[in-house]
Amino acid sequence: MAGKPFCPSVALLRTLNRLSCPPQCLRQTTLRHQRPLHASRMLAKEPLSFHGQLYESTADRVKKERAEQARFAEARGESLRGRGAATSFLIVSTALLGYWAGSQKARPPAPESTLPLAATVKPHHNTGKANLQAAWSDFVDIVGDENVSTKEEDLQYHSGSDWSSYTTKADEKPFLIVFPSTTEEVSKIVKVCYGREIPITAYSGGTSLEGHFSATRGGICVDFRRMDKILKLHKDDLDVIVQPALGWELLNEELAKDGLFFPPDPGPGAQIGGMVGTGCSGTNAYRYGTMRDWVLSLTIVLADGTIIKTRQRPRKSSAGYDLTRTFIGSEGTLGLVTEATLKVTVKPKNESVAVASFATVREAAECVAEVVGEGIPIAAIEVLDDVQMRCINDSGSTSRDWKELPTLFFKFTGTALGVKEQIKQVQQLAKGKGSKSFDFAKNADEAAELWSARKEALWSVMAKRRDESDHVWTTDVAVPISRLPDIIEQTKEDMAKSGLLAAMVGHVGDGNFHAILLFNDKERTIAEDVVHRMVKRAVEMEGTVTGEHGVGLIKRDYLAHELGEETVDLMRKLKQAFDPRCILNCDKVVRVQKPKAGEVKEW
């Protein structure tokens, strides 16, 4: 270096060039230049020359830059990790979204023809307060504020009844009641419920007995009371189109003006919608058949709000599946009836009634079998046992006192000569079976008086309640007519042993009879056991668990014993097909989810 002048600018340029060297190279170069300067400073403690200061300053800057680079690298790594997590989240979210979207597409139907209870999934309903309140606003837009009720007394009234066999639980009541007036309004209401997954219970007369309209899932109740009109009478075709809240008694009053009548005659207060739902019959069933024989066509609102008509008006048709009968007896679980086309017939010109009493209920039942076996074309045969006749006397609900013995009530219709002949034949058969008395009506007023006892059966038992804690259980079964004396006698003995006030009434002409039991909460198990044995007895005699009351909540677990598990599984599959979201009268007829422990009585 001697002999070469030192140029600070050249030295600085070289230093700056070294900044581009790798860190190891830069470190070695810097140390090589620093050592002599540092040593002389330590020995002489003299200030650094300009040249030394320049290198020290450059080294400090290099250290700072390296530290900044290290911090930048660390921050960049964290950023990359964060971006990686965000990317992963985005990928997973997209995949899940795609899976959800794919699951919303139509799935192929399950390959099985039936739906066993074990394969069911608990129905999903949205009965949250916000959802129901939003639906309330929708209903007000459809029917008007005055036709939507949330009054507590209305909610309780639409939850159950004193005459139902099912005791409604405290939480089993609807959120509101809505009163439509047209099929189109019903459709709009159902569409709201379908979209919002809100359960629906239909209500017309409220006379059903097996818990048919209990709101087991909450939701809303559709009351058809504003749909109570006769829409069109076709006198020449002998049919009439009516709405669901028309009572059968009012219908017959109107039909009588034209010399016509509608035969099914269940309990007082029953209305057409409920009669279709339960497939009812009544006292005229022996001669005229049940509701299934008198409905030609139905207008139905399905679970998603779709409106269908099951067929046209001709008396017979081979056009496809018989959807009319599919809906009869479905109890509002497959669709809501908004119109019914009913067959009517000519009102009989002559009618009379006779009453015969017997020492035992078996003798009465055997007399029925004789009358049926002889083919006498009477209109109705009813039996009331001794307990029932005593209740009628105690209630004072009729204008005469009755012999408190098992009693048969006969109704005769036809020509004047034909009615007289029928009465004579029945009187002879009753006498042969040991009848204690035989009275027949001389005119229409006497006929009405004699028949009035039959119509007061249920109410007279209810009048015997000891206090408000007493309940009434009314149930029915039916057996082949040849087994009727056996089941009536055995059931009568069983009821007597129970210690309960228990009466027997029946449309015995077609093997159908009813038991009416009075009990309190402490006696509930006794009543349940009596009914259970009665139902079991009927099934073992090749009978049915219900002749006309319907299944509701009380009889659903007996269906498999009568029909077989596979048949009930097919009914459940039908329910799923018609009502995939299970919003229509959920839990009735067939279970839609497994029962809790102890809910089903052992067979």
* pLDDT tens track for 321-333: 999 999 999 999 9
Contact 527, 495 (CB under 8 A): no
Mention every residue, 6+ apart, whose C-beta is less than 8 A from residue 375: none
CATH number of the domain bearing residue 157: 3.30.43.10
Q: How many domains does the structure of the chain reveal?
A: 5
Separation of alpha carbons 360 and 377, rounded Å: 25
Complete edge-to-edge strand list for the sheet that includes strand 220-223:
148-149, 176-178, 220-223, 200-203
SS3 percent helix, strand, coil of the chain, rounded to 5, is 45, 15, 40
Tell me whether residue 2 is in a domain: no
**Could you tell me the CA-to-CA distances from 508 to 123, 132, 303, 336, 483 in Å, in that order?**
40, 47, 38, 32, 11
Of all residues in the chain, the percent with pLDDT exceeding 90 is 72
Please give the pLDDT value at position 22. Answer: 46
> Is residue 274 located within the same domain as residue 207?
no
Find residue 230's DSSP bridge partners: 242
> Is residue 163 located within the same domain as residue 83?
no
Q: Report the residue count for the chain.
A: 603
Find residue 502's DSSP bridge partners: 517
- The closest alpha carbon to 232, from 243, 244, 217, 248, belongs to 243
| Sole residue written with tokens 């048969």 | 408
Contact 160, 211 (CB under 8 A): yes
Residue range 142-149: mean pLDDT, rounded: 98
Separation of alpha carbons 94 and 97, rounded Å: 5
Structure tokens at 533: 């044995």
Contact 348, 414 (CB under 8 A): yes
Separation of alpha carbons 379 and 412, rounded Å: 5
> Is residue 373 located within the same domain as residue 425?
yes
Structure tokens at 392: 């009628």
Please give the pLDDT value at position 450. Answer: 87
Tell me whether residue 110 is in a domain: no
Tell me whether residue 560 is in a domain: yes
Structure tokens at 438: 């035989």
Domain edge (last residue) among 346, 370, 385: 346
Structure tokens at 10: 């050249």
> Is residue 148 located within the same domain as residue 95?
no
> Is residue 371 located within the same domain as residue 307?
no
**Could you tell me the CA-to-CA distances from 590 to 119, 304, 333, 478, 569 in Å, in that order?**
14, 20, 9, 20, 9
Query: How would you class 129 by CB atoms within 10 Å of its CB: exposed for 0-12, middle for 13-18, buried for 19 or more?
Result: exposed
Average pLDDT, the chain: 87
Separation of alpha carbons 18 and 25, rounded Å: 8
Interaxial angle between packed helices 484-498 and 524-540, expressed in degrees from 0 to 180 and rounded to the nearest 10: 170
CATH number of the domain bearing residue 478: 3.40.462.10
> Is residue 380 located within the same domain as residue 526?
yes
Task: Domain of residue 492: give its range.
Answer: 350-552
Contact 190, 303 (CB under 8 A): yes
> Is residue 437 located within the same domain as residue 536?
yes
Mention every residue, 6+ apart, whose C-beta is less than 8 A from residue 491: 504, 513, 515, 533, 534, 537
Residue range 366-377: mean pLDDT, rounded: 92
Please give the pLDDT value at position 318. Answer: 94
Tell me whether residue 64 is in a domain: yes
Domain edge (last residue) among 330, 346, 362: 346
> Is residue 294 located within the same domain as residue 380?
no
Q: Which range is least confidently modeled, 66-70, 354-358, 375-379, 385-389?
A: 66-70
Domain edge (last residue) among 314, 346, 378: 346
Tell me whether residue 461 is in a domain: yes
pLDDT digits (tens, 9 = 90+) for 531-580: 999 999 999 999 999 999 999 999 999 999 999 999 999 999 999 999 99
Rounded (10°) CA dihedral 310, 316, 320, 321: 60
Tell me whether residue 267 is in a domain: yes
Please give the pLDDT value at position 552. Answer: 96
pLDDT digits (tens, 9 = 90+) for 13-59: 444 444 444 444 434 444 344 444 444 444 344 555 544 554 555 55
pLDDT digits (tens, 9 = 90+) for 441-494: 988 888 888 888 888 888 899 999 999 889 999 999 999 999 999 999 999 999
At 368 the three-state DSSP class reads helix
1-15, 244-258, 361-375: which is most confident? 244-258
Please give the pLDDT value at position 214. Answer: 94
Give the number of other Cβ atoms within 10 Å of residue 208's Cβ: 28
Please state the pTM of the whole predicted model: 0.80
Structure tokens at 359: 């020492």
Structure tokens at 582: 């299970």
Buried-exposed string 580-591: b where 16+ CB fall within 10 A, e elsewhere: ebbbbbbbbbbb
> Is residue 13 located within the same domain as residue 43?
yes
> Is residue 173 located within the same domain as residue 46?
no
- The closest alpha carbon to 533, from 475, 585, 450, belongs to 475
Residue range 188-205: mean pLDDT, rounded: 97
Contact 179, 225 (CB under 8 A): yes
Find residue 240's DSSP bridge partners: 233, 342
H-run or E-run covering 447: helix 444-455
Contact 380, 410 (CB under 8 A): yes
Type of residue at 202: A
The 3-state secondary structure of 276-327, one letter per residue:
HHHCCCECCHHHHCCHHHCEEEEEEECCCCCEEECCCCCCCCCCCCCHHHHH
Structure tokens at 216: 């087991």
Please give the pLDDT value at position 110. Answer: 74
Find residue 336's DSSP bridge partners: 301
> Is residue 388 located within the same domain as residue 446?
yes
| Sole residue written with tokens 């039936």 | 114
pLDDT digits (tens, 9 = 90+) for 298-313: 999 999 999 999 999 9
Greater pLDDT, 4 or 348: 348
Separation of alpha carbons 221 and 224, rounded Å: 10
Tell me whether residue 107 is in a domain: no
Please give the pLDDT value at position 44. Answer: 41
> Is residue 448 located within the same domain as residue 388?
yes
- The closest alpha carbon to 240, from 337, 342, 148, 330, belongs to 342
Give the number of other Cβ atoms within 10 Å of residue 36's Cβ: 10
Tell me whether residue 185 is in a domain: yes
